[in-house]
Amino acid sequence: MSARSHPSAPAVLGGAPAFPNGLALVQPTIEDVPALARRLESVLASGTLTNGRTVRALEETVADRLGVAHVVAVSSCTSGLMLTLQALDARGRVVMPSFTFSASAHAVTWAGGTPVWAEVDARRLTLDPADAAAAADGAVAMTATHVYGAPCQVEALQQVADNRGIPVVYDAAHALGSSRRGRPVGSFGTAEVFSLSPTKVTVAGEGGLVTTADAALAEAVRIGRDYGNPGDYDCLFPGLNARMSELHAAVAVHSLAVLDARIARRNALVAKFKAGTEGLPGLTFQDIEPGDLSTCKDLTLVIEPQFGLTADELAVALRAEGVDTRRYYHPPVHRQKAYAHLAGRRALPVTERVADQVLTLPLWSHMTAATVTTLAGTVARLHEHAATVRTRLRL
């Protein structure tokens, strides 16, 4: 019997695709659109489209939820990181992971800093405190990313920062709703910066939130988001227009109300996927420490050689099944053209290996359990047929 006529053959071998209508990587979840439309109508009717009460309500809601003194809403996580690092005067060496989204490094660079790459922990995929310490000579700041929503080892990283007397800023783009040993992400380090862009779990359309216990830092970011203008048009420093509009804030407030349910659901879907692929050789996942909570912003596989297909090969085979994937984070930032001039200063073998092995699969908050079961079955079937699939892909 040829592969083509086999009913369960992978699509790359001529079988029927598992998702004939396609399976998108992300779909923002917007519950109760009519209620959101009423919120937006009331913003429009108020006549205030920026610097208004909806942004303030969002900031207060988040401050209460996370137990932090100050929350400043901004136009994006990237602009929030830029303004925070500018306010901390992080011009100089900034220790940070290369295994993160490019924007983490761009913000450091725009604020006048130079990334000094450090490794991630091979199992957790977050900044490795020991390697961060080894890279910290002469550093003026450190940044770390709560990758896919998994909290960093914040205690050890704080120790590294304290030993050097430098601030630590978390790129918490993925982690609104995550917690570390019971304490909410948003309350660690000198500041943390969340993203509310459409691929995240809580969305505003576009937006970001800076959280900090430091009143002066919060004030500098508040002024910075408004061009550096403290209110009298006598600008204190060259800021940005990084304000969040009232309309975006209304979407964020609406989205926040259901955050816990979303996180619970995403964790349940990831658990279902893990159960459906249990025992497949070479298929591993990021470690989440017991007692920590991840938003599960992404469902990322770490594919070791025993799986029989590389992450790239699996991506091509899944594309034939209709499944959209990404390589979060490949290439790692230090391998990207924008940072080629910094290459070769520190060897990053763990980062390079992990980046070669990651593949992010579709996951969204309203995905059905049946979809996850089919997705897990599809990955399992590709493993079963790995040798033939690999031969076909290499033809």
Ligand X SMILES: *Cc1c(COP(=O)(O)O)cnc(C)c1O
Chain positions contacting ligand X, by CB under 6 A? 76-78, 100-101, 103-104, 145, 171, 173-174, 195, 197, 208
Bridge partner residues of 293 (DSSP): 179
Alpha-carbon distance of 10 to 242, in angstroms, equals 47
Q: Which of 19, 148 has the CB closer to ligand X?
A: 148
Q: Which of 203, 314 has the CB closer to ligand X?
A: 203
Handedness of CA 54, 60, 66, 71 (dihedral sign): positive
Minimum CB distance to ligand X, residue 306 (Å): 29
Assess contact for 355 and 328: CB atoms under 8 A. no
Minimum CB distance to ligand X, residue 206 (Å): 6
Pairing between β-strand 139-145 and β-strand 93-97 as defined by DSSP bridges: parallel
Q: Which of 55, 382 has the CB closer to ligand X?
A: 55
Q: Which of 100, 202 has the CB closer to ligand X?
A: 100
Q: Which of 210, 223 has the CB closer to ligand X?
A: 210
Burial (CB < 10 A; 0-12, 13-18, 19+), residue 232, is exposed
Minimum CB distance to ligand X, residue 344 (Å): 24
Assess contact for 260 and 231: CB atoms under 8 A. no
Handedness of CA 198, 203, 205, 210 (dihedral sign): negative
Q: Which of 193, 303 has the CB closer to ligand X?
A: 193
Element (H, E) at 171: strand 168-171
Q: Which of 103, 283 has the CB closer to ligand X?
A: 103
Minimal CA–CA distance to 141: which of 109, 165, 175, 174? 165
Q: Which of 103, 318 has the CB closer to ligand X?
A: 103
Minimal CA–CA distance to 78: which of 101, 97, 55? 101
Give 155's Cβ-side CA count (13 Å radius): 3
Number of Cβ within a 10 Å radius of residue 318: 27
Minimum CB distance to ligand X, residue 147 (Å): 7
Q: Which of 119, 321 has the CB closer to ligand X?
A: 119
CA angle 186, 191, 193 (to 5 degrees): 65
Rg of the Cα atoms in the chain:
22
- 260: which 2 tokens? 């816990």
Minimum CB distance to ligand X, residue 151 (Å): 13
Minimum CB distance to ligand X, residue 101 (Å): 4
Q: Which of 147, 166 has the CB closer to ligand X?
A: 147
- 138: which 2 tokens? 């002469």
Residue 15, SS3 per DSSP: coil
Minimal CA–CA distance to 176: which of 164, 168, 165, 185? 185
Handedness of CA 235, 241, 246, 250 (dihedral sign): negative
> 19 to each of 9, 170, 289, 323, 334, how far by Cα in Å?
14, 37, 33, 7, 35
Minimal CA–CA distance to 77: which of 183, 177, 200, 182? 200
Minimum CB distance to ligand X, residue 52 (Å): 21
